[in-house]
Structure 1
């Protein structure tokens, strides 16, 4: 489920028999729930709109889901092999890694 460039992580609570979700990929916790998919979509939109309004009221920018910057650690041997592979393909390590991640996540 997406809205205004943000995605929602949706789950089902069998005990309460409700769908619930939260905006994914941000640290601020913005949750919502409903009994049906249609109502859940409306609750997501309402929760997002409330989040944006609350941020504006307190003078804070809403968090963006992704910046495009990825930093992670890998074993030195993996780093070496990736750098060599990128060089052999005539690409920077960033270009090569973006292509590999794009293919793996598609």
Structure 2
């Protein structure tokens, strides 16, 4: 996945072959924020302008732009993955929940 980051916000970037432009979508925020550009320079400028506009608007309304997360995560995995994860967690002396939270945090760079 191609991404772009600005002020702690991340966007997913794709190329639209039909229109010959780069398009992006900001991830993890309440609003749907898209942007585009014919060049990477245009794309970055539009991304940064979109983030700045979102931050200013949220500040004026006294809102947080981030999408809230409850901290509860339900996963469906194959039984063999579940069993292997249980063994891996037990091997580290942790509960499956503690182990999974640590692994997910590392994978998400948190």
Question: What's the TM-score, normalizing by structure 2?
Answer: 0.72
Equivalent-residue separation in structure 2 for 1:103 and 1:27 (angstroms): 24
1:4 corresponds in structure 2 to: 7
- Of the three residues 38, 42, 49, the one matched with 2:41 is 38
| 1:87 match: secondary structure | helix
TM (normalized to structure 1)?
0.74
Q: Any unmatched runs of 5+ in structure 2?
A: none
In structure 2, the CA distance between the partners of 1:85 and 1:38, relative to structure 1 (3 Å rule), is same
Cα drift, residue 102 of structure 1: 6.1
The answer on 1:47 being equivalent to 2:50 is yes
Q: Specify the SS of the correspondent of 1:63.
A: coil
RMSD over equivalenced CA pairs, Å: 3.1
Shift of 1:93: 1.9
Q: How many residues align?
A: 105
Closer, same or farther: CA 97–68 of 1 in aligned 2, 3 Å: farther
**Structure 1: stretches of 5+ with no match in the other structure:** none
What displacement does 1:18 show? 1.2
